[in-house]
Amino acid sequence: MPDDPQWKEDYEDAVQKLRDAGLRITNPRMALLKVLLDQKLPCRIEDLHQQVGPQHCDLATLYRCLATFQELGIVRRCFLNDGTSLFEIVSPNREHNHHVICKVCHKVESFDVCVAEGLEPLVRKLGYRDISHVLEFFGICEDCQENESPATAKNLSKK
């Protein structure tokens, strides 16, 4: 992946942002950045932790790095319907995507349309500043529909 010129550009960009902010280029940060750049889709923090290598970076550090990256506009954090979050790299090279998330297996699919952007001016007109939005679709994916027993479909969801 690091051979990809686009990957490299995003990487350099992020490093520059850190430098500009007077922040240090540390191993955990670089490891995380590389993992983030390798993702095609937004990622749960546990997955990131797994990929960075749990021995290379503490979970607490991961949260701190991600918070830092978010402040610098390097990553976007997106809160899901189950209270957890996904993180994804922000890059002018990557489109602003929304996602379809399976309620059962948490698989994420990209969805390259953003109908919501057009509404932000309307929100601005209401007097709001620093506007962002969340648009995510939730459903049950084909695989999970098959694996789901007819019984569970009827039950009120319980463990």
Partner DNA sequence: GTGAGTGCAAAGAGTTTGCAGTGGG
Partner DNA sequence: CCCACTGCAAACTCTTTGCACTCAC
Site string for a copy of itself, 8-37 (x = CB under 8 A): -------------x----------------
Quick one: what does residue 60 bind among a copy of itself, DNA, none, with the CB cut-off 5 to 8 Å set by partner type? DNA
Does 154 engage in binding with a copy of itself (CB under 8 A)? no
Q: From the CB of 146, what's the least distance to a copy of itself, in Å?
A: 10
Selected binder of a copy of itself within 9, 12, 56, 79 (CB under 8 A): 79
Residue 6 DSSP one-character state: H
Whether residue 35 contacts residue 48, with contact meaning beta carbons closer than 8 Å, is answered with yes
Residue 102 sits in the site that holds a copy of itself (CB under 8 A): yes
- Residue 126's alpha-carbon distances to 67, 119, 122, 131, 152, in angstroms, are 29, 11, 7, 11, 44
Tell whether residue 55 is a contact of a copy of itself (CB under 8 A): no
Per-residue burial over 97-107, b if 16 or more Cβ lie within 10 Å, else e, is bbbebbeeeee
Computed on alpha carbons and rounded to an integer, the radius of gyration of the chain in Å comes to 18
Dist CA 59 CA 32 (whole Å):
11
Please report how close the Cβ of residue 10 comes to a copy of itself at its closest, in angstroms.
21
Contact residues: a copy of itself, CB under 8 A: 21, 68, 71, 77, 79-83, 85, 100, 102-103, 109, 111, 113, 115-116, 118-120, 122-124, 126-142, 145, 156-157
